[in-house]
C-alpha cells in the first residue's frame, strides 16, 4: 500500500520494517515523500492512511 507521508516521516521510529520509498521511475530517484508498506504490516495501514490524509490536508 502506498502513502504520502512527507519527507520528515521516520518509518523506523514508527516501527515499520517493510517501508521503502515509492520508486516508479527507471532513471529517476525515488519519491521520498511517498512510502510503500508491504502487506505484512497491514495492521498499520489504517493509521497511516489517517496520517497521509492529515499530511495532504496541510498542503492546501
Q: What is the pLDDT of residue 57?
A: 87
User: Splitting the chain (60 residues) into consecutive groups of 10 residues, what average pLDDT does each group show?
Assistant: 96 96 96 97 97 85
Q: What is the pLDDT of residue 10?
A: 96
Burial class (CB in 10 A: 0-12, 13-18, 19+), 1: middle
Number of domains in the chain: 1
Q: Which domain holds residue 38?
A: 2-58
pTM: 0.87
In this structure, are residues 54 and 4 in contact, taking their beta carbons and an 8 Å threshold?
A: no
Amino acid at each position: 500500500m502506498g502513502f504520502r507521508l512527507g519527507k520528515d516521516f521516520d518509518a523506523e521510529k514508527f516501527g515499520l520494517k517493510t517501508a521503502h520509498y515509492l520508486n516508479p521511475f527507471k532513471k529517476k530517484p525515488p519519491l521520498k515523500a511517498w512510502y510503500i508498506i508491504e502487506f505484512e504490516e497491514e495492521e498499520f495501514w489504517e493509521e497511516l492512511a489517517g496520517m497521509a490524509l492529515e499530511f495532504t490536508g496541510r498542503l492546501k
